[in-house]
Amino acid sequence: MKRILIIIGKIIVRLLHLMKRNAGNLPGIILWHLSGHKAVSMFKVDCPIIAVTGTNGKTSVTNCIAQLFEGSGKKIITNREGNNLDTGICSLLLRHCDMKGRVNADYLILETDESHVPVVYSQLKLDTLVVLNFFRDQLDRNGEMETLIQKINGFCKTFSGNLILNGDDPNTARLGKANPANRNVKYFHAEPYAFATEKAFEASEGRFCPFCGEALDYEYYQYSHIGKFICKKCGFGSYEPYITAENIDLEKPVFTADGHEYSPKLNSIYNVYNMTAVAAAAKLYNIDQKVTDSVISTYTVNNGRMEKFMLGDRDTTLNLAKNPVGANMTLRVMNEMKGEKELLFVLNDNVADGLDVSWIWDINFSVFERVTRVVTSGTRAYDIAVRIKNSGYPAEKIVVCPDLDKSVEELAVTPGKKFVIANYTAVQPTRAALKRFIAGNGGNSQ
């Protein structure tokens, strides 16, 4: 039966290929139905599998870990395009397996959607699970966050492989206690950076100890609910870090981990956490220090994540924000930047955005520093304008342009620095609009 399914799947992949169609998800969806919802159970994988999950940063960390092994001369298979559900992983393996379903590689590095971790890895043996963070995201699809954590926690109860956890996120760190017999739990941690605060700065969840219900005590918050916490009642939060990021200086940017200095390209605390997770994986798999250096110091993304453009001579930075944490982080980077700037916020409410846009009310706009004007765009251009207005920002400095091209033109009318925030389905159209403007008016994109 499995053999037949593999053959059917391969034929579908071939057909889609001949039709010049993207085979990213469809073959997996068909096999999911044919296999009684066990789309990945038919594959035979003998090499170690490393999975990366969490709300934010999965794609970056997966790509970096993949580069660690590639740079070490290993044959890897990875879902670079981010098809991270069981059906997407099935499609990926279909493309790389032989007719018997055997997958031939040294390592599989798989970005995996939070809700699909138990599904996929009850069918495939997992060597290492990296969990970055849990934030409110797309509640519509996943149900509520606690349910999601419970699901992964359930998986961790019987998992005895390596567990690399963000020790500064209580939602993540709690997974380390799911299986007391697992000796392979490793926490990564970061010392406070210049903008760490004593009080929570943004709306955040996870303020109570998941084990005893006591309010958690924070020594400092880095962003949202990420920071050094402890439960004074039951001790949750006291652990020996496997790896610690210290001496974080985002102006340069530079940080040290395990006594080694790294100079990443991206200057957010966000990225420091992601790269510390990468360094933890490198340590675990004994990756050559030179390879790790080169991955961490060259990693950058040109897909709307802190992407630079010049609109004529206007220095412009675009960043994706698909949830309040991402948006708050971006505002933080914008505020930490010297001088005056203008903001364009593009907000869509398409299906992939989760339809609802109320998460914008969890963004803390009252912290605006030297923001001289705001332009809003997208299918919910007015919603974000109303949101920003109610934070106390002067309404007369807000310009609403639902049409994306018009909004970019409007942004470029005045001189000076520009910042652009776009949510999930808005980011690619926004990049395209910026590039159209540049094509017509000069400037450049990286």
Give contact residues for other proteins (rule: CB under 8 A): 139-140, 143-146, 203, 207, 213, 355-356, 358-362, 382-383, 385-387, 389-392, 395, 398, 400, 402
Which candidate, 205, 165, 207, places its Cα nearest to that of 182? 165
User: Of the ranges 102-110, 162-170, 234-242, 334-342, which one interacts with Zn ion (CB under 5 A)?
Assistant: 234-242
Q: What angle do CA 400, 329, 207 make, to 5 degrees?
A: 115
**CB-based contact 342:372 (threshold 8 Å):** yes
User: In terms of CB distance, is 157 or 233 closer to Zn ion?
Assistant: 233
User: Of the ranges 210-218, 322-330, 332-340, 432-440, which one interacts with Zn ion (CB under 5 A)?
Assistant: 210-218
User: Which tokens go with 223?
Assistant: 């962003």
**CB-based contact 61:52 (threshold 8 Å):** yes
Partners of 189 in beta bridges: 244
Minimal distance in Å, beta carbon 209 to Zn ion?
Answer: 3
Q: Is 290 exposed, middle or buried (0-12, 13-18, 19+ CB in 10 A)?
A: exposed
In 278-410, where do the E strands start and end?
307-311, 314-320, 341-346, 371-377, 398-400
Q: Name the binder of 236 from Zn ion, other proteins, none, CB < 5-8 A by kind.
A: Zn ion
User: Of the ranges 64-72, 156-164, 209-217, 278-286, which one interacts with Zn ion (CB under 5 A)?
Assistant: 209-217
User: In terms of CB distance, is 226 or 360 closer to other proteins?
Assistant: 360
Q: Is 77 in the site for Zn ion (CB under 5 A)?
A: no
User: Which tokens go with 173?
Assistant: 């760190």
Q: How many residues does the chain have?
A: 446
Distances (CA, A) of 136 to 139, 224, 358, 379: 7, 11, 12, 22
User: In terms of CB distance, is 126 or 148 closer to other proteins?
Assistant: 148
Q: Is 187 in the site for Zn ion (CB under 5 A)?
A: no
Q: Name the binder of 233 from Zn ion, other proteins, none, CB < 5-8 A by kind.
A: Zn ion
User: In terms of CB distance, is 316 or 328 closer to other proteins?
Assistant: 328
Q: Name the binder of 11 from Zn ion, other proteins, none, CB < 5-8 A by kind.
A: none
Cβ-Cβ contacts under 8 Å for 22 (sequence gap 6 or more): 16
Residue of 7, 11, 212, 352 that binds Zn ion (CB under 5 A): 212
User: Which tokens go with 207?
Assistant: 């303020």
User: In terms of CB distance, is 65 or 216 closer to Zn ion?
Assistant: 216
**Is the bond preceding residue 253 a cis peptide, omega within 30 degrees?**
yes
User: Which tokens go with 226?
Assistant: 């990420």
Cβ-Cβ contacts under 8 Å for 47 (sequence gap 6 or more): 103, 105, 106, 107, 108
Q: Is 209 in the site for Zn ion (CB under 5 A)?
A: yes
Minimal distance in Å, beta carbon 210 to Zn ion?
Answer: 8
User: Of the ranges 228-236, 273-281, 297-305, 306-314, which one interacts with Zn ion (CB under 5 A)?
Assistant: 228-236
Minimal distance in Å, beta carbon 391 to other proteins?
Answer: 7
Q: Is 239 in the site for Zn ion (CB under 5 A)?
A: no
Q: What is the DSSP string of 235-266?
A: -TT----SEEEEEEETTTTEEEETTEEE--S-
Minimal distance in Å, beta carbon 395 to other proteins?
Answer: 6
Distance of alpha carbon 70 from alpha carbon 49, whole angstroms: 15
Minimal distance in Å, beta carbon 414 to other proteins?
Answer: 21
Residue of 10, 95, 233, 397 that binds Zn ion (CB under 5 A): 233
User: In terms of CB distance, is 7 or 395 closer to other proteins?
Assistant: 395
User: Which tokens go with 224?
Assistant: 């949202």
Neighbours of 226 (CB within 10 A): 26
Q: Name the binder of 139 from other proteins, Zn ion, none, CB < 5-8 A by kind.
A: other proteins
Q: Which residues bind Zn ion (CB under 5 A)?
A: 209, 211-212, 214, 231, 233-234, 236
